[in-house]
C-alpha cells in the first residue's frame, strides 16, 4: 500500500485500495447451451483491479453452460465492449452516470471483437499492460524508468512507496453528452468508444505558496472548455492509443492565478459547453480541493490518476 512519509497509510488511501464494486455478471444468451440458463454470478470487483483478472472466479458459474470452443473472454456493458486495460473502477465511473449497484455486465467466452479491442491473453496481458503503465508513470515522475526496468520481482512491491514529486501522470477520460439533459441518469448510454475523448498528460504544479486545485489541473488539461479568463498554457496533450500507451510529450502547467472555486458540477465554458460531473475513484470531489492531495491519495496502483469528466456539449 502507498504510505505517507511517516509510514502510516492515510484514511483516503485505505478507502481507495479497499474499494470494490458489486458486479452481477450475465452470460450472453448466444453462449447459453443449457435449460434453464445459468443464473448471474455475483462478485465484488476491486476498483483498482482489471476485469480479466476476475475470470477465474467467474468461469465456474458458467462452465457447464458454455458451447464447445476455446475461451476468448471479454465483457460488455449495454452493448459496449469494455476495454480490459482500463481499471474497473474507472470504467464504472465513466459509463455509469448514475451508479448502479450491482453493476450489470455481460461476459462472453466466444467471439472476441478483435476489430474493437486489442487482444487479451488473460493475466499475462494485464500484467504487461500494468508494467507498461508503470514505466510511463515512472518516466513522468522521475524523467526515466530505470527503477522499473531494473526492478526484481520481489522489489516491485516497493513501487507502492514511490514518492510522487513534481509531475503527476494523469489519464483524463472525457465523456461528452450531446443532448441537453437535466439529469445525468437520463444521459444516453455510451455505444461507442468514439464518444470518449482521452487525454494522457503530466500535470506540473507551479506557484509557491498558492494552492493548485483540482480545478486548476482540469483547466490545464481542458483549456478549450474554459473562458479566456480561465484559460491556461498547455504545452502538450496526447490522445490515448488503442493499447493504452501514452504518447511522448511535455508537461501541462497550471495557472498561477488564484481562480474562483467551482463546484463539482458546474463551470463557465466556451460556446455553452459545461462540465456536469467530475468523478475519481467513485468520488465526486469539490473542484477547489488541493490537487496534490487528490494525486497522492486517489491514484491507481500503476501510479496514474484516472479522472472521469462528463461534459455537456452544445450542438452547433
Cell output for 47: 476498483
Ranges of the chain whose pLDDT falls below 70: 1-9, 147, 150-167, 179-180, 205-210, 227-272, 314-316
pLDDT of residue 282: 94
pLDDT of residue 281: 95
Do residues 220 and 251 lie in contact, with contact meaning Cβ atoms separated by under 8 Å? no
pLDDT of residue 54: 95
pLDDT of residue 271: 63
Supply the pTM of this predicted model: 0.74
Cell output for 29: 444468451
Give CA–CA dist 36/38, Å, rounded: 6
Q: What are phi and psi of 113, to 5 degrees?
A: -80, 75
pLDDT of residue 163: 26
pLDDT of residue 4: 47
Give CA–CA dist 159/3, Å, rounded: 11
Give CA–CA dist 214/288, Å, rounded: 6
pLDDT of residue 277: 92
Establish whether the linkage from the previous residue to 270 is cis, with ω within 30° of 0: no
pLDDT of residue 210: 58
Buried b (16+ CB within 10 A) or exposed e, 2-22: beeeeeeebeebeebbebebe
Task: Sort 164 into a burial class: Cβ within 10 Å, 0-12 / 13-18 / 19+.
Answer: middle
Amino acid at each position: 500500500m502507498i504510505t505517507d512519509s511517516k509510514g502510516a497509510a492515510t484514511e483516503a488511501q485505505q478507502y481507495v485500495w479497499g474499494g470494490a464494486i458489486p458486479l452481477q455478471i450475465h452470460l450472453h444468451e448466444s453462449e447459453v447451451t443449457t435449460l434453464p440458463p445459468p443464473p448471474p454470478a455475483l462478485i465484488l470487483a476491486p476498483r483498482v483491479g482489471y476485469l480479466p483478472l476476475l475470470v477465474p472466479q467467474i468461469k465456474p458459474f458458467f462452465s457447464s453452460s458454455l458451447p464447445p470452443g476455446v475461451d476468448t473472454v471479454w465483457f460488455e456493458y449495454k452493448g459496449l465492449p469494455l476495454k480490459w486495460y482500463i481499471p474497473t473502477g474507472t470504467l464504472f465511473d465513466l459509463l455509469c452516470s448514475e451508479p448502479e449497484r450491482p453493476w450489470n455486465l455481460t461476459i462472453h467466452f466466444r467471439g472476441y471483437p478483435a476489430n474493437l479491442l486489442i487482444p487479451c491473453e488473460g493475466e499475462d496481458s494485464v500484467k504487461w499492460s500494468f508494467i507498461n503503465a508503470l514505466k510511463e508513470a515512472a518516466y513522468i515522475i522521475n524523467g526515466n524508468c530505470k527503477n522499473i526496468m531494473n526492478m526484481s520481482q520481489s522489489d516491485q512491491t516497493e513501487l507502492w512507496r514511490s514518492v510522487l514529486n513534481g509531475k503527476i501522470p494523469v489519464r483524463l477520460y472525457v465523456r461528452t453528452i450531446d443532448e441537453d439533459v437535466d439529469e445525468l441518469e437520463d444521459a444516453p448510454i455510451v455505444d461507442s468508444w468514439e464518444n470518449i475523448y482521452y487525454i494522457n498528460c503530466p500535470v506540473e504544479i507551479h506557484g509557491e505558496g498558492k494552492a493548485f486545485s483540482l480545478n486548476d489541473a482540469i483547466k490545464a488539461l481542458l483549456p478549450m472548455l474554459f473562458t479566456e479568463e480561465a484559460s491556461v498554457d498547455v504545452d502538450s496533450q496526447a490522445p490515448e492509443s488503442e493499447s493504452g500507451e501514452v504518447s511522448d510529450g511535455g508537461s501541462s502547467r497550471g495557472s498561477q492565478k488564484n481562480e474562483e472555486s467551482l463546484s463539482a458540477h458546474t463551470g463557465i465554458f466556451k460556446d455553452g459547453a459545461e462540465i456536469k460531473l467530475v468523478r475519481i475513484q467513485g468520488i465526486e470531489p469539490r473542484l477547489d480541493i488541493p490537487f496534490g492531495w487528490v494525486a497522492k491519495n486517489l491514484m491507481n496502483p500503476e501510479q496514474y490518476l484516472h479522472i472521469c469528466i462528463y461534459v455537456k456539449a452544445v450542438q452547433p
